[in-house]
Amino acid sequence: MSLREEISKANEAAVERMMEASAIWIDVVEARKVLNVFGQPTLLHAGPPVSWEKASGPLRGALIGATLLEGWADSPEGAERKLQTGEVRLVPTHEVGVVAPMAGAVSPSMPLLVISDPKYGNRAYSNLNEGIGKVLRYGAYDESVLKRLKWMGSEFAESLKAAVDQAVKEKGGLDVKFILTQALNMGDEGHNRHAAGTSLFLNELARYLVMSDLAKDVLLRVLDFVKGNTFTFLNFAMGAAKVMTLAAHNVKYSTVVTVMSRNGTEAGIWISGLGNNWFTAPAKVPQGVLFPGFKPEDANPDIGDSAITETAGFGGFAMAAAPSIVSWVGGNVQFAVENTERMYQITHTKHRYFKIPYLSFQGTPTGIDLRKVVKTGIEPTINTGIAHRQAGVGQIGAGVVSMDMGMFKRALRRYAEEYGIS
């Protein structure tokens, strides 16, 4: 079999696994109880590895806040000293099977959603979504942020745990992939618009919360929080995307991209046939809609693990399914449609289950092929939130950004070396 045939066969297998993987929410658990990286003070962060010295403002803010949340320091200055000296270690989320939006800061006491794929035997994890604006994932860490996180780590997480336990007893868990397929047919794209997904999720969740016999005041607080945050489902969707892409990872000869992520300084990718090796390039600054009072120069380069949604075949790749997304990230409806159509040129196939009504129910562009990206010169485009470049400020808007071609060229050169292509 020729190398071209080997690659074609490998990519077909990888993308088939990605599409057929299941994604079932089965648990909520403290990070330290499922990850073995917290033997010393350690924080997870989005994107490729980065040192404190090179960390962007929003990432620094989130790490400071997480250090304060854990009680490792009693002031922002004290937290910064511990991070600067390396007393608090930094580990990329993807390297331990976790995905988290924006800064991606995960500390040992934080609750994680557990998303299972019984078909291929993988599990992925994501943290809980705080909402928009002044939140930890955008680099804010004042008392209001920490107070919310403490409640989310106690009453909110305990309530979700009680609910999902009921779902597991009744039907093995809550099917996140099924909700995603419905949401794409209802005007979501699965990254920056979750109005439908969160509503569908809340429909399922409410029943199991009631079954859990929670106190009425607790039940109302939990329901109000979910109802008031349409991004609740984002983290479930990201966990689902991660478990799907895990199914496609480590397929020999495959040129399919299985990770795209950013840390606010650099962006990076993984390739299925090249294992857990990062190929990086500078992160670009998103262009989009800013909240009142902010200017383009306030925006930080792109940050977060949420590009795992595009990697799995939805998010920005499915913008044609969500015309109203342009009111959030900028552009117009035609741009949303054209972006999806352009992504078909760099992907392996059309998704079997994720459909776009406006495009006559075609499947979404799925399975980014490293070779096609380099050959066409088309960079994968994602939609994203925009963080202020200074620590402590938070979210200032939302927009669109592409992944720099440099990382794909580096990955292709490494692929050629790995598989003996001259």
* Confidence bin at 2 (pLDDT 50/70/90): confident
Give first-to-last CA distance, the chain, whole Å. 18
pLDDT at residue 122 greater than cutoff 80: yes
pLDDT at residue 348 greater than cutoff 80: yes
What pLDDT shows up at residue 420?
A: 86
DSSP symbols for 262-300: EESSEEEEEEGGG-S--EEEEPPPPEEEEPTT--GGGBP
CB 214 within 8 A of CB 222: yes
State percent of the chain over pLDDT 70. Answer: 100
Query: pLDDT (tens digit, 9 = 90+) per residue, 309-338?
Result: 999 999 999 999 999 888 878 888 898 999
Residue 418 CB coordination number (10 Å)? 15
All domains in the chain, ordered by first residue: 21-235 (3.90.1710.10), 250-418 (3.90.1700.10)
Tell me what the pLDDT averaged over the chain comes to.
Answer: 96
Tokens of 1: 């079999």
Torsion angle (degrees, nearest 10) of CA 412, 413, 416, 420 = -170
Query: pLDDT (tens digit, 9 = 90+) per residue, 224-248?
Result: 999 999 999 999 999 999 999 999 9
Structure pTM? 0.97
What pLDDT shows up at residue 72?
A: 98
What pLDDT shows up at residue 394?
A: 87
Query: pLDDT (tens digit, 9 = 90+) per residue, 5-53?
Result: 999 999 999 999 999 999 999 999 999 999 999 999 999 999 999 999 9
List beta partners, residue 287.
Answer: 400
What pLDDT shows up at residue 421?
A: 83
β-bridge pairing 287-290 and 395-402: antiparallel
Contacts 24+ apart (CB under 8 A), 296-301: 298/388, 298/389, 298/390, 298/396, 299/386, 299/387, 299/388, 299/389, 299/396, 299/397, 300/56, 300/57, 300/58, 300/264, 300/386, 300/387, 300/388, 300/389, 301/56, 301/262, 301/264, 301/265
Query: pLDDT (tens digit, 9 = 90+) per residue, 171-219?
Result: 999 999 999 999 999 999 999 999 999 999 999 999 999 999 999 999 9
Give dist(CA 368, CA 177) in Å, integer. 20
